[in-house]
């Protein structure tokens, strides 16, 4: 199993550009989520999904869109990038059996918005 | 809603010394508690978790943690630190159902010779 994969690893954007961060998992996990990590702030939840066709907002959803058309993929879209979105983004997945399930993280995408 | 506090932003220990990283949580019912480690430039890896049973939990890499309900704490310990343990450590709490994990802000561990 590849686990949770994220592409790209690094990205530089100009203010106002749009892009999609890709996330895929091959563990048949129903539950997927996106976090951003900023210095001194820990991990903050952006959006999450408990299954195909179902998404919900996390703590910091503004400026981001998600969709979940398949179990495997959970892309994160930045509609109009802003410098405040410079961050490291992590995708994670787990079985939705319950909160005791281990959450697996991808390697992250480093995004710089100029 | 649940929350997590990691009081120490940065800790420095000598190689071979013991380690304790503090974690306090806030949640009305029995929490689901996790410790993750993040090496520089890497994703997060699960060290250990607690959701029921024995309150002393053993994890990977020689780490253990103890759940203390009376103190709302889940402190991470290691008896002898190795230089390779230098990393950032995150405590997280989960609630029932599909409520997302809530993470603390992390504690950065430095190890000196």
Where do we find the tokens 């809530």? B102
Residues of B in contact with A4 (CB under 8 A): 43
The distance of B54 to chain A (nearest Cα, Å) reads 15
Structure-model confidence comparison of residues B98 and B82, the more confident one: B82
| pLDDT of the residue at A55 | 96
Query: Nearest by CB to B90, which of A4, A43, A99?
Result: A43
A28 Ramachandran zone, left/alpha/beta (phi>0; psi -120 to 50)? left
Give the percent of chain B with pLDDT over 70.
Answer: 100
| pLDDT of the residue at B25 | 94
CA B55 to chain centre: 14
The predicted model gives B34-39 an average pLDDT of: 96
Query: Nearest by CB to A105, which of B43, B52, B102?
Result: B43
The answer to whether the Cβ–Cβ distance between B44 and A105 falls below 8 Å is yes
CB B2 within 8 A of CB B95: yes
When pLDDT is cut at 50, 70 and 90, the band that residue B56 belongs to is very high
> B87-94 and B102-103 as β-strands: parallel, antiparallel, unpaired?
antiparallel
pLDDT in tens, B66-76: 999 999 999 99
The distance of B50 to chain A (nearest Cα, Å) reads 8
| pLDDT of the residue at B98 | 77
Where do we find the tokens 């053993």? B58
Answer whether residue B92 shows pLDDT above 90: yes
When pLDDT is cut at 50, 70 and 90, the band that residue B21 belongs to is very high
Residues of B in contact with A35 (CB under 8 A): 103
Number of H helices, E strands in chain A: 0, 11
CB B62 within 8 A of CB B51: no
The distance of B57 to chain A (nearest Cα, Å) reads 14
> B19-21 and B73-78 as β-strands: parallel, antiparallel, unpaired?
antiparallel
Answer whether residue B27 shows pLDDT above 90: no
Question: Which residues, at least 6 apart from B84, have a Cβ–Cβ distance to it below 8 Å?
Answer: none
| pLDDT of the residue at A40 | 86
Taking the CA of residue B18 as centre, how many other CA atoms within 13 Å lie in the half-sphere pointing to its CB? 5
d(CA A53, CA A98): 19
Residues of A in contact with B34 (CB under 8 A): 103
d(CA A112, CA A92): 21
d(CA A41, CA B2): 16
What tens-digit pLDDT sequence spans chain A (114 residues)? 789 999 999 999 999 999 999 999 999 999 999 999 998 889 999 999 999 999 999 999 999 999 999 999 999 999 999 999 999 999 999 988 887 888 999 999 999 999
CA distances from B61 to A30, A36, B36, B64 (A): 29, 26, 12, 9
The nearest alpha carbon in chain B to A41 belongs to B105
Q: What backbone torsions phi and psi does residue A25 show, to the nearest 5 degrees?
A: -135, 145
Answer whether residue B28 shows pLDDT above 90: no
| pLDDT of the residue at B68 | 94
The answer to whether the Cβ–Cβ distance between A103 and B101 falls below 8 Å is yes
Under an 8 Å CB criterion, which residues of A touch B? Answer: 4, 31, 33, 35, 40-45, 48, 50, 58, 90, 92, 96, 98-100, 102-108
Answer whether residue B97 shows pLDDT above 80: no
CA A113 to chain centre: 17
Choose, out of B48, B100, B107, the residue to mutate when testing the contact with A (most A CBs < 10 Å): B100
């Amino acid at each position: 199993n590849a686990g949770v994969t994220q592409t790209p690893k690094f990205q530089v954007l100009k203010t106002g550009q749009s892009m999609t961060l890709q996330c895929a998992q091959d563990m048949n996990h129903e539950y997927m989520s996106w976090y951003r990590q900023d210095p001194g702030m820990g991990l903050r939840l952006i959006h999450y999904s408990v299954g195909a066709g179902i998404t919900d907002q996390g703590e910091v959803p503004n400026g981001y869109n998600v969709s979940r058309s398949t179990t495997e993929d959970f892309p994160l879209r930045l509609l109009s990038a802003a410098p405040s979105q410079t961050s490291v983004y992590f995708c994670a997945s787990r079985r939705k059996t319950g909160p005791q399930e281990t959450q697996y993280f991808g390697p992250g995408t480093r995004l710089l918005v100029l | 809603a649940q929350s997590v506090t990691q009081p120490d932003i940065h800790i420095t220990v000598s190689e071979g010394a013991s380690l304790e990283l503090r974690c306090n949580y806030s949640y009305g019912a029995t929490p689901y508690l996790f410790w993750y480690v993040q090496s520089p430039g890497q994703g997060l890896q699960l060290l250990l978790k607690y959701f029921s049973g024995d309150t002393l939990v053993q994890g990977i890499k020689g780490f253990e943690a103890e759940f203390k309900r009376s103190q709302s704490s889940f402190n991470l310990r290691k008896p002898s630190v190795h230089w390779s343990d230098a990393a950032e450590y995150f405590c997280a709490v989960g609630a029932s159902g599909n409520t997302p994990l809530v993470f603390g802000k992390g504690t950065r561990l430095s190890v000196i010779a």
